[in-house]
Amino acid sequence: MLELRAFSEIVIKPPSTDSLFLSTHDERLTYANFIARVGGTVAILGDLFKRRQTVVFVLCENSAALVITLFALNYLAQVIVLLFPGYAPEELRALYGEYKPSLVIADKRFHPLFSSLGARLLSFEELARAQPAALPEIRHSHDDACFILFTSGARGAAKGVVLTNGNVLANVLGIQSYMRASANERCLITRSLTHASALVGELLLTGLTGGTCVLRWAPKTIRRLFEWCESEAITWMGVSPALLKLVVDYGTVHNCPIHTRRIVVSGSILTPELCLAFLVTFPRTELINAYGLTEASPRVTYLPPDLARVKPGSVGHPIAGCRIRLINKSGTECRPGEVGEIEVAGRNVMRGYFPHGLRRTRGRRAAWLKTGDSGYRDDDGALFVLGRIDTMFVHNGLNIYPEYVAAVFEKCPVVRRAEIVHLEHARFTKTLFAFVELNSEVSAHCAINKIRDHLTENLDTRKHPDEIVIVPSFPLTPSGKIDVKKLLENYLRT
């Protein structure tokens, strides 16, 4: 597999063309079927591009058609901007003006908007009419940009991360060095493929090893997730800590196992308490806690299952081909236990942000990527992530990481999800707010009393919020994180 030059070659050179690659609600494609469909799509798209490395918008929910299109565009050496279907019209207009794509491939419901902008458009329905075809010979390069993926944009403007084939392939191989996935694996993918972990760590990893991807959209109920794992004979899946909490709650209440051999957690901080609760509830399922960021394609570190009980909450050690270090405020490397900023280096680290990242670099690029995340290493070198440096604030004389306080909230049985915000505004004398989505039908008044009692038992009183605000649901970014900007806009309008 080391001779691969583009991510599309992962499934074009599978261990077996007869095995099943992709299973969706309405389609089942073997590797041979998939390759033929990619070939037909390449035949249609190839005539639309006069040169390599043009920017193409792709906008669709998880589907076989989406995956086929991604592989076809990469085979044609184009740069894919994968867009979340939940973007608001004004956001799509702004992105179109900034990125100026040569082509927009989208569901027909988005066509009026892009047509009004003068875009060259193609629908997935048109691509579906492609006849199976053999793939032409095309030159690929590790240095070709393949994706522009967006950072979460939870608290600021989302940045377009330019990833090359070399970045993505290095990360897939690094992930495989510890996952050791095989052709017998069946991976359940429920997160949008705009999420780097779902795209690289699940879809491409499974294709690299000849396994099967069971592609679904986010389940409407946790019960449905359990049913998929059993009916589809799922061997592993990736989840966020928020989804893992719902899985643990459901398994505890209904006293039922989850029929999967392994779960990989990524996307935000996994607390030691949730980690241990999972291991108690599902003793037969392995848990891997992973850390990464879109700029690193995305995986950086992982904690093996055999250390989950020993170091709960840790994200472990770097994956193969990746290095980390922690730098303190004086610019020197941290000692064990000392808090500093996490920096990352390796072939998986991005070339840069759009538009500069599209330029092929001449000479040596910066060796270390500043992640903006704060953490420390223990005496064994295992990494613990505390939160974002730019979200840390001082309250009552203490340095407070909102991610830590939110994690304490989420241990309360009535809390589904929480967001802690330090807000200085002329309208308010209070500055520390906790926004909470409830996990039960208890009244808001009763829930707040239960939460206050929970905080008294579990959190330093100096870190208690000045006000608890109950919200019906949280606005989310394309990567599934809480959109703090929209949350505050909604609150300030009330």
pLDDT attached to residue 2: 53
- In this prediction, residue 362 carries a pLDDT of 58
Six-digit token string for 492: 């300030």
Q: Copy the structure tokens of residue 487.
A: 């949350």
Domains and CATH numbers, the chain: 9-140 (3.40.50.980), 186-389 (3.40.50.12780), 392-493 (3.30.300.30)
- SS3 category, 136: coil
Residue that has been written with the tokens 């608001």 in this structure:
88
d(C-alpha 481, C-alpha 200), whole Å:
18
Task: Identify residue 48 by its one-letter amino acid code.
Answer: L
- Mean per-residue pLDDT of the chain: 92
| β-bridge partners, 367 | none
The neighbour count for residue 84, using CB atoms within 10 Å, is 20
Q: What separation, in Å, do the N-terminal and C-terminal C-alpha atoms of the chain show?
A: 56
pTM as predicted: 0.86
Beta bridge partner(s), residue 421: 433
**DSSP labels for 76-93?**
TTPEEEEE-TT--HHHHH
> What pLDDT shows up at residue 282?
98
Spatial contact of 163 and 147, defined as CB atoms under 8 Å apart = yes
Ranges in the chain, pLDDT < 70: 1-2, 153-157, 361-366, 426-429, 478-479
Q: Hey, what are 351's tokens?
A: 């070339």
Q: What residue type is 188 in one-letter code?
A: L
Q: What pLDDT score does 153 carry?
A: 58
Q: What is the pLDDT of residue 304?
A: 96
DSSP state letter for 260: -
Angstrom CA distances, 221 to 217, 226, 243, 285, 464, stand at 11, 9, 11, 21, 32
User: And the tokens for 365?
Assistant: 């690029």
Q: How high is the pLDDT of residue 348?
A: 97
d(CA 104, CA 98): 14
DSSP secondary structure of 457-482: HHS-GGGS-SEEEE-SS--B-TTSSB
pLDDT for 197 equals: 95
CA distance 42 to 134: 9
In order, the DSSP letters of 336-404 are: TT--EEEEEEETTS-SEETTGGGSPP-SPPPS-EEEEEEEEE-TT--EEEEEEGGG-EEETTEEE-HHH
Containing 116, the helix (H) or strand (E) segment is helix 111-116
CA pair distance 494, 474, nearest whole angstrom: 15
Q: How far is CA 15 from CA 18, 179, 440, in A?
A: 9, 17, 47
**Locus of tokens 């569901």:** 107
Q: What is the pLDDT of residue 426?
A: 63
Give tens-digit pLDDT for 37-56: 999 999 999 999 999 999 99
